[in-house]
Structure 1
């Protein structure tokens, strides 16, 4: 074994307590005991030294032990109760010094004095020492309050058992070994009482050690128990077992031996100060009564053996019956102990299950974040703290276009993505912040002590962490999140705080996603206006207040109609004309875009079918209908289009579904829906190309037939070369990909001529025609049909 390993070994199983090494105080105590033994041996047959020298080691050893106890009481790391115990032990040592001094004084004054003879002050000192010791031990909080009374009763019964047993043995030894003391029996009573009290003190130490009081080191307690046993047993039984001459006392040896144990215990406690005491396994029963019964049975057999065969036989039978009863009881107690251990183990397991159930009830199974219930509870608790003057911010996080990932790649990939996002959220917040998964792809943050301005720094860290690709089951995904933030205000409620953060989050989505928005009062006004307009939108749809208009798409350079784009108009009875740029986003947020879009599609197809029947080849070749992203993500949208075509009898190849590039940029179910429409024969047009998530890769994945170049690239085409370069690049791309290009927003003849020179053959805009009502379209078609060929 290496030297450094030996230096870290400990007494017992404790690895954190420094190994006991000799100290000057311990060396002095050992030297005192050695001196006492030498002096006793020198004077055992004849007094060769002065009598007082025989008592000096006892007085010096007791003083050293008292000083060790007093120093231990002030060791850093001790709790108040433990320090009080060691102060009490120091007082006990002082009382023993006084008692020893009294014995020495009496011996010097009367060399013929016998060991058991004490004057009253000396006997009082010894008795007070034992009483103080017992009082200090009995004040230790060994048990919970509800068990303290039962523990005290058991201790009193054990103490009475010890006292009776000691009394019986002492009486027998006095009468059998030292008959000469029979005439002085009353003088032996104090010695027997002190011995009984000393052994009871030893019993108390053992009880405390087994009970596992956390402050006093349990090995130090056992050393103190050994000290009490040595002092009581040795000092009391030595004069009964060994006939020594007057003037010589067993206490001269046993007091130094006792106080050596005390000094060892004090040194042990100093080294163990501040180290948590391990949980001690307690025996389910006390062995004290059984030891007392066994000792008394042995004494009974000894007495019976000398009293005759009949008495010995009866005594032997009584002892055997007692042994059987004890064996039966101990066996039952052990069985009960095993049952209790199993019950304890089951209770521990049940508590563990309860903890697991509690954790699962308050945490999300997938990410192990707090769930909505725990998040709302923590919010309520945080709001209570806010009443004390603190502040609080709450954020709601919603992953943008997460549904597309689930639909396109599967729920397993979506779950793996959520786990990674949860880990990044944990890493971005402080230790005291609360991160929760509220459901689906929505997360919550509780940021105590932060104003909204400070909380935005946390949100910036979160946004930055999400910019890194997320690896989920073999896919590298880019994640964006819309975040709403709300700061607490006086008398805030958890529900209202969550609602404000939710409102801010949806505002962030409306402003372009992938950003955060802080709640303010204007959001409430906007929400109220949107809610009012949404209700009126529902009534307008039910009342048939919407109308359709149609803007022609023409060929260049002649301006002949080739197709019509369907546009919706709403004339409010009170507000007048409301533009699609206002009510269409509201319809998408409220879900009304689905029934509204179905009405637009069926109305336009019915109207186009009517023009086909009326004008035949003179009718527009195609009819275009705008479809929103929300409609494309509706299950069964392609089936609804097929049903509308069947109901109206319109040719699918003459229907053009116009979608924005943003609606299909992320792929998913929207792109699958377009593929299903293509199988019906429907043509696809990418509207407003160049203004959204422009990507050339989209032209390869989206089954588009037509590319509509946004008006912003047409406005300055006649005056600035940049627009001309972009327009030229787009026509080259469409030609290379065999797509039909349509220039939108043409308002002047100069723009039309320039576009034609660049290679465009189709256009639409106010230069050719404004949107026309069905009647106006009908009139135009009627007029064209009567013109001479």
Structure 2
């Protein structure tokens, strides 16, 4: 059979159980034979008790020493074996007593035998009381048992008094009846003990084992105390001669059942709301009262019947009240269970992300604090911890282009893949938006880096989200904890490493080190100075001409920003532009560049007329294009300066509009204003040809890296040739950047390029220098005209 889903060994009769069963059959046979008339010497009636006691002691000891038993179980079954041995010794005393008085004239038990039987009952009670009870506190258990034991003792004492005066007075003297009264009282107290145990959580015993123990005590108590009330036995014949072996057989079966159920968790059953033992005691007393009243006379019997009826009515009312209380308590328990479930759900919602079911930021920070406390306690040599921050690159573009439903579906898949890449003891959390956190336990830097590489590989596989196959790239930063680390500092270091990974080209991971800290501090200082430089007007603009091939006539200019710091001196754009983008200063800086360039271009038009540069190009970053209302900002700047929108060229990089979304929408709005679009550094991005179908570009500016080697039979020359063919086929204008020699200019013209810029034609010029050059050009042209 099974208990709690576990297999219990089937009953296989052992020699000890067979012996105990045989002794019970023998005892019944001898008892019934001698009850009908003298059949065998009376001492033989006590012999089966000795054999059954030996068998029960063997089974109990085997259970106590068997595998899977805890200390409490071993003690309990050893005490049961001791009690069986004491009963066997008591039965030996009865054999000796019966042999000494073959006609049954002696006392039922002499003093040593009575002491042995009392000790056996005391050992049984002690063993049961020492069992742990799960539901009740120890004090409450003892008080309830003491009350029930006193109830039983009062009831048994009353019956013993009546038995002594009426029932056994004819066959036993008062002193001879004392052992019977004592043993009956102890037996019924044992029934109370097992009854209370059976109503608890089984005290660690198997449920069937408890039932068998209860049966043993009930059989023993009935045979010792109540059986003589119903049967008039001949001298020397005692009910215990038959009931003691039966009691020991129940004990042997209980021990064997517990041995076979070793390692199987006991089944918890509903707690009873009230005990029946006090009511049984009242019922027994009422029965005795009716018996005595009937012997006294009719008047006493009527009063007794009335008292019994009143007692029954009170018990009935109390039982109904207890049952109602029980129903209320069960309803309360059900409500509490439901409330606990709601509480658990609320707690889960408060600590987990609703979309991915990962831990949220609050729970992640709590796990981080707990883990750091463990690191501090054990030391860096014994406990390691690494924290990683993961940011999905260009996720906003997916939301803007495909909708938030697709973005959410992608986040769910990403969360599942992150779970699959880490162990069960690691923590994966969604910290907000497209940012995730990992807490890696017991992994040092190199091992944690292997996990990050595994995550990068897992995310590189296309993600299927609502019918779209999306490529996911993520920048990951890793920081390793130290004994005195704080959660905020550890998160800051991981965040710093993550941004370092983004700067290295996205789709990468970086590990925090001291060099990153130095760069961060330097960048932070530079960012603060950038803010001050913008307020103080320390920026200036220079303009590099774009010329026509082969005559070199200026057709336009590209606007470039320069910064000369009072403390640092000249700071290159390659250094301060990335910091301006990270800090968001590129937005106000870009707005200043646009408005200043447009005012300057309009001034040239007013001064030089048709000789002024026809177009002016302004570089725009991805951050500016994603700024809400950027197209309106350009429109306002054009209106403020009065410059012709068709002569303004917005230069953007391929990566700025690769993912479409808001950036591409902003370019479309600019085109509707008449502004032209040029793809800057064309050829260095990851999907340049695909952009030509979606981006509203008028011009491609071929990167300097393809121009440098154009003079020979190099791959750059092949690429440059292919690009001019593409632009011609798509009716786009191509501008070659970074032309530094006449040979390069000639080759580009021969390949089909008609526009270029670079140091070969002119270095970037200030507004004053460019104006002077335009003046010189106009004077030279006027001189030629006069000639």
- Return the TM-score normalized by structure 2: 0.95
Q: 2:280 aligns with which of 288, 291, 306?
A: 291
Q: CA deviation at 1:321?
A: 1.3
1:44 aligns with 2:50: no
Structure 2 counterpart of 1:560: 553
- Superposition pairs of residues 677-696 of structure 1, within 5 angstroms: 677-696=670-689
1:191 aligns with 2:184: no
Structure 2 counterpart of 1:280: 269
Give the Cα separation in 2 of the matches to 1:58 and 1:28.
Answer: 11
Structure 1 counterpart of 2:463: 470
- For residue 93 of structure 1, give the secondary structure of its aligned residue in structure 2: helix
Give the Cα separation in 1 of the matches to 2:27 and 2:429.
Answer: 73
Q: 1:200 aligns with which of 189, 194, 215?
A: 189
Q: 2:422 aligns with which of 429, 438, 444?
A: 429
Segment of structure 1 superposing worse, 373-382 or 672-681: 373-382
Structure 1 counterpart of 2:248: 259
Structure 2 counterpart of 1:269: 258
Q: 1:613 aligns with which of 579, 596, 606?
A: 606
1:300 aligns with 2:289: yes
Structure 2 counterpart of 1:248: 237
Give the Cα separation in 2 of the matches to 1:746 and 1:74.
Answer: 95
Deviations 1:568-627 (A, max 9, x none): 111122322211111111110111100000000001111111112222222211111000
Segment of structure 1 superposing worse, 80-89 or 37-46: 37-46
Give the Cα separation in 2 of the matches to 1:585 and 1:702.
Answer: 24
Segment of structure 1 superposing worse, 381-390 or 316-325: 381-390
Does structure 2 conserve the Cα–Cα contact (< 8 Å) formed by 1:626 and 1:658? yes
Q: 1:596 aligns with which of 589, 593, 597?
A: 589
Structure 2 counterpart of 1:357: 346
Does structure 2 conserve the Cα–Cα contact (< 8 Å) formed by 1:81 and 1:140? yes
Structure 1 counterpart of 2:315: 326
Give the Cα separation in 1 of the matches to 2:138 and 2:267.
Answer: 21
Structure 2 counterpart of 1:499: 492
Q: 1:331 to 1:310 in 2, by over 3 A?
A: same
Give the Cα separation in 1 of the matches to 2:696 and 2:323.
Answer: 82
Give the Cα separation in 2 of the matches to 1:115 and 1:358.
Answer: 76
Give the Cα separation in 2 of the matches to 1:379 and 1:78.
Answer: 41
Deviations 1:23-54 (A, max 9, x none): 33322221111111222233334443344432
Structure 2 counterpart of 1:162: 152
Q: CA deviation at 1:393?
A: 1.6
Structure 2 counterpart of 1:535: 528
Segment of structure 1 superposing worse, 106-115 or 749-758: 106-115
Give the Cα separation in 2 of the matches to 1:756 and 1:114.
Answer: 142
In structure 1, list runs of 5 or more residues that go unmatched.
1-7
1:110 aligns with 2:101: yes
Q: CA deviation at 1:509?
A: 0.7
Structure 1 counterpart of 2:18: 27
Give the Cα separation in 2 of the matches to 1:140 and 1:14.
Answer: 25
- Superposition pairs of residues 607-756 of structure 1, within 5 angstroms: 607-756=600-749
Structure 1 counterpart of 2:367: 378
Give the Cα separation in 2 of the matches to 1:780 and 1:239.
Answer: 137
Segment of structure 1 superposing worse, 775-784 or 678-687: 775-784
1:58 aligns with 2:49: yes
Deviations 1:710-732 (A, max 9, x none): 11111111123422221111011
Give the Cα separation in 2 of the matches to 1:607 and 1:695.
Answer: 32
Segment of structure 1 superposing worse, 253-262 or 107-116: 107-116
Segment of structure 1 superposing worse, 748-757 or 720-729: 720-729
1:224 aligns with 2:200: no
Does structure 1 conserve the Cα–Cα contact (< 8 Å) formed by 2:385 and 2:444? yes
Does structure 2 conserve the Cα–Cα contact (< 8 Å) formed by 1:362 and 1:374? yes
Q: 1:376 to 1:15 in 2, by over 3 A?
A: closer
- For residue 44 of structure 1, give the secondary structure of its aligned residue in structure 2: helix
Query: How many aligned positions are there?
Result: 778
Give the Cα separation in 2 of the matches to 1:179 and 1:726.
Answer: 127
Does structure 2 conserve the Cα–Cα contact (< 8 Å) formed by 1:199 and 1:229? yes
Segment of structure 1 superposing worse, 647-656 or 714-723: 714-723
1:75 aligns with 2:66: yes
Q: CA deviation at 1:86?
A: 0.8
Structure 1 counterpart of 2:357: 368
Give the Cα separation in 1 of the matches to 2:91 and 2:16.
Answer: 20
Q: CA deviation at 1:306?
A: 4.5
Q: CA deviation at 1:701?
A: 0.8
Does structure 1 conserve the Cα–Cα contact (< 8 Å) formed by 2:545 and 2:554? yes
Does structure 2 conserve the Cα–Cα contact (< 8 Å) formed by 1:115 and 1:239? no
Give the Cα separation in 2 of the matches to 1:356 and 1:667.
Answer: 40
Q: 1:760 to 1:9 in 2, by over 3 A?
A: closer
- Superposition pairs of residues 454-469 of structure 1, within 5 angstroms: 454-469=447-462
Q: 1:93 aligns with which of 84, 95, 111?
A: 84
- For residue 204 of structure 2, give the secondary structure of its aligned residue in structure 1: coil
Does structure 1 conserve the Cα–Cα contact (< 8 Å) formed by 2:682 and 2:688? no
Segment of structure 1 superposing worse, 110-119 or 385-394: 110-119
1:309 aligns with 2:298: yes
Segment of structure 1 superposing worse, 684-693 or 49-58: 49-58
Q: CA deviation at 1:179?
A: 5.2
Q: 1:774 to 1:676 in 2, by over 3 A?
A: same
Deviations 1:186-220 (A, max 9, x none): 32122022112112112211211221145222221
Give the Cα separation in 1 of the matches to 2:500 and 2:6.
Answer: 60
Q: CA deviation at 1:628?
A: 0.4
Q: CA deviation at 1:170?
A: 4.2
Does structure 2 conserve the Cα–Cα contact (< 8 Å) formed by 1:386 and 1:392? yes
Q: CA deviation at 1:695?
A: 2.9
1:212 aligns with 2:201: yes
Give the Cα separation in 2 of the matches to 1:292 and 1:634.
Answer: 88
- For residue 522 of structure 1, give the secondary structure of its aligned residue in structure 2: helix
Does structure 1 conserve the Cα–Cα contact (< 8 Å) formed by 2:44 and 2:95? no
Q: CA deviation at 1:323?
A: 1.2
Give the Cα separation in 1 of the matches to 2:623 and 2:399.
Answer: 16
Segment of structure 1 superposing worse, 124-133 or 25-34: 25-34
RMSD over aligned Cα atoms: 1.9
Give the Cα separation in 1 of the matches to 2:7 and 2:336.
Answer: 30
Does structure 2 conserve the Cα–Cα contact (< 8 Å) formed by 1:177 and 1:241? no
Q: CA deviation at 1:504?
A: 0.9
Give the Cα separation in 1 of the matches to 2:491 and 2:66.
Answer: 53
Segment of structure 1 superposing worse, 306-315 or 369-378: 306-315
Deviations 1:471-522 (A, max 9, x none): 1222211111111111223422222222111111111111111111111111
Deviations 1:630-670 (A, max 9, x none): 10110110110011111111111111000000111111111
Give the Cα separation in 1 of the matches to 2:459 and 2:134.
Answer: 54
Give the Cα separation in 1 of the matches to 2:105 and 2:467.
Answer: 95
- Superposition pairs of residues 471-490 of structure 1, within 5 angstroms: 471-490=464-483
- For residue 540 of structure 2, give the secondary structure of its aligned residue in structure 1: strand
- For residue 565 of structure 1, give the secondary structure of its aligned residue in structure 2: strand
Does structure 2 conserve the Cα–Cα contact (< 8 Å) formed by 1:198 and 1:228? yes
Q: CA deviation at 1:272?
A: 1.2
Does structure 1 conserve the Cα–Cα contact (< 8 Å) formed by 2:43 and 2:94? no
- For residue 180 of structure 1, give the secondary structure of its aligned residue in structure 2: coil
Segment of structure 1 superposing worse, 120-129 or 109-118: 109-118
- For residue 567 of structure 1, give the secondary structure of its aligned residue in structure 2: strand
Q: 1:584 aligns with which of 577, 580, 600?
A: 577
Segment of structure 1 superposing worse, 15-24 or 569-578: 15-24
